[in-house]
Each structure stands twice: as C-alpha cells, then as structure tokens.
Amino acid sequence: MLQTKLIDSELIAWTIQQRRHFHMNPELSGQEYKTAAYVKEKLTEFGIPIDSRFSAPNVVAFFKGTEGKKTIALRADMDALPLQEEGDNKPYISTVPGVMHGCGHDGHTATLLGAAKWMSENPQLVKNNIVLIFQSSEEASPSGAQQLVKEGVLDGVDVIYGIHYISGMPLGKIGFATGYAMASSDDFDITIEGTGGHGGYPHETVDPIYIATHLIQAFQSIVSRNLNPLHAGVISFGGMQAGNSYNVIPEKVTLLGTIRALTFEGAELMHKKTAQLTESICASFGAKGHYSFIEGTPPLYNHPEACEAAKNIIKKSFGEDVFVEKEPVMGAEDYSYYLKEKTGAFINVGMKSEISQYPHHHPKFDIDEAAIPSGIELMIQLALNA
C-alpha cells in the first residue's frame, strides 16, 4: 500500500466496506439499477446533487468547486460479468448465481464514492467543479460510455480521468501508456452463399468451405501488407459454421471474427478491406459474400497533455519510483469514447499480489484491497490538481 496524504484509515475502511457490498451484489451490463440506487443514496447523504438528465442506470453527479474555473470529470464503471465466482473462503463472495465482479468494477465504483465522500467533507479544498460519472455497461454493447457522450455528459468538461485496478501491474505501482494505449474492438459476421452438392462431384458445386479458407488466409494479408507496420492490428476468426455431413458440400458457410487496431486509421482500413475482400473473393469463385460489420469501441488514446499532468501528480503524491510507463495493449475499453471527445487519460493502479494473482475475467479474480487507498488518493489528487 502506498503512503497517502489526504485520506485517513476511516475513509479507507468505509470504501472497502462499499466495495464488498458491490461485490456481493453484482449486476450485469445495463441492469445495474440496484447498484445505481445505492450510489444515489450515498451521494444524496453527502449532499452532492444528482444530474437527472442522463439515462438510467447511469448515475451522474455534480460537485461545485469553490472557484469553478475548470471542470474535471471522474469516471467509474459499475457492471459485472456473467461468471460463477469461485473461492468459498471470501466473506464477501457474490450472492448472485452466475454473476460476479470479475474485472474490478466494484472497486472502481467504491473508490469514486470514497473520493466523493472526501470532497463532501472537505469542500473548501476543492476549487474545481467535479463531474462524477458512475457508468453502466462497460462490458457489453451498447456501450454506456457512448450513450453518456451522446447525452452530453462531457459538455463543459475540461479534462476527464478514469482508473482501473489491474492485476498485471505490481501492487504499489501506478501507470499508463501515453498516446494510443488500448485497441479498438469491432466484430464481423460473414455468410458465404455457394451451391451445395455431392462431395464426389465438387465440379458441380460452388464450395463455400473452400472459399472460406481463401478468405481466412486473405484477411491476414490486410495486417501484413496493408496496415502500416508501425500500427498494431489483428484480425481473428472465432467461429465457423458449415455443413454436418461427410459427403455433402453445404450451400453456405458463416464466419465470425474480430478486428483490433491501435489507431483510428488502422481500424478504418481493416473495416474497409475486410468488406472488400469478402465481396471480391467470393465473387471470383461464383459465390455471394454477405459482410456485416458490428461496430464496437474505438482505440483508447491517452492525450499527452493529460498524461503529463497525471504523471506529475502521481510522482508528487506517491513518489518518483511509483509511476510506470506502460506499453499499449490490444485489449479494449469503452472509456475510449470519452477520450475521443475530450482531453484526458485512463490510469492503471497496480494490485498484483497473492490475493490478486488471477487475471481479469477469471472466476477466481479478486481485488487486493491494499491497492484501494492509492486509488482513492489518486482520484482526489486528480480532482484537486488536474
């Protein structure tokens, strides 16, 4: 646990208690109504007004600063995952069958509540206006971040910050990648319509399985021969459904896949090229190719000026050796919708330890609560000094 300057043991214990409450009562994406009601109840206790303009179950509140020259937005996500939690020795294990907080969103929500509580108790120290965003549906589509941006949650905001407790970074470290930090995540469905027939008479058919093999191979050339080698990207097929007989060539094949890109340009290029290759390759064999693109999240771009400010705050608040400059990753996060519109950054708070040894989205995943004081302190310091 890092040394903290602004918070005390009482606030830390209160925040951990809130985290355990959320962990025991998880709700899936878009269904976080009880969680939202609990968050509203606490904010009302703190005297922080709720902004009713935004769609449920999102919760947005506004803390008015003493000067109000700048407005800082802080975001936490609230949804859980469709996983059956394992680990009977936990006193706070999920009470909802098949649902658990397997990514740390219970910690994010509790941490932002802890920061809000501190602000309500120390209003004279908060010069900036603070927008508190408790967001629904980070883990599933439609994205809660995208919806809130459309509804104007960032209107009047100067900079936005969010944190994520992460099991892949050592406990006691805080860091991020500057610039492109996380990938876009889009999906596609492809249906290849050929002409079925007898396996012994392939010349009388247009074999969609054979065509699918060409398509799968050709898609890899998009990354190796069309995408800028300095811009990371990946195309992966996750599903293929065809016939069910040894000697019958089916009439159609369906393919399911995902596109990941680390730049906006790369994501657009791969979308365009996958659609073009589907049509042209299928046509060249006399088949019809039907391509359906499922838009997901854009790349997450941490703005350099916001990163520099955050880096200085981290070093000043926690020590020079705490900050870690991370490499970009191909995972995705809908926080990217906020950063597409406004200056800001997404910050990782390390918690790798024996308690938090399992990866995110694992049924035994857990937060090492020793990281929570750092999260609260960081949220407050960003609110005060960003």
State the catalytic residues.
Answer: 79, 138
Q: What is the pLDDT of residue 252?
A: 98
DSSP designation for 370: G
Torsion from C-alpha of 22, 23, 24, 27, nearest 10 degrees: 70
Q: pTM score, two decimals?
A: 0.94
Structural domains present in the chain:
9-182+300-385 (3.40.630.10), 185-297 (3.30.70.360)
In the prediction, which pLDDT does 97 show?
98
pLDDT for position 356: 95
DSSP SS3 for 378: helix
In this prediction, residue 2 carries a pLDDT of 62
Whole-angstrom distance, CA of residue 168 vs CA of residue 192: 40
Three-state DSSP class for residue 157: coil
Cα–Cα distances in Å, from 32 out to 103, 178, 281? 15, 32, 45
* Distance in angstroms (rounded) separating the CA atoms of residues 336 and 301: 7
**Residue 77 · residue 138 · CB < 8 Å:** yes
User: Do 333 and 311 touch, CB atoms closer than 8 A?
Assistant: no
Question: What tens-digit pLDDT sequence spans the chain (386 residues)?
Answer: 566 789 999 999 999 999 999 999 999 999 999 999 999 999 999 999 999 999 999 999 999 999 999 999 999 999 999 999 998 788 999 999 999 999 999 999 999 999 999 999 999 999 999 999 999 999 999 999 999 999 999 999 999 999 999 999 999 999 999 999 999 999 999 999 999 999 999 999 999 999 999 999 999 999 999 999 999 999 999 999 999 999 999 999 999 999 999 999 999 999 999 999 999 999 999 999 999 999 999 999 999 999 999 999 999 999 999 999 999 999 999 999 999 999 999 999 999 999 999 999 999 999 999 999 999 999 999 999 98
- Ramachandran quadrant class, 15 (left: phi over 0; alpha: psi -120 to 50; beta: rest): alpha
Using an 8 Å Cβ cutoff, are 72 and 382 in contact?
yes
Residues sharing a CB contact under 8 Å with residue 244, sequence separation 6 or more, in sequence order: none
Q: Following CA atoms 240, 244, 248, 250 in sequence, which dihedral angle do they give, to the nearest 10 degrees?
A: -40
72-86 residues labelled b (16+ CB within 10 A) or e (exposed) = bbbbbbbbbbebebe
CA atoms of 310 and 383, how far apart (whole Å): 11
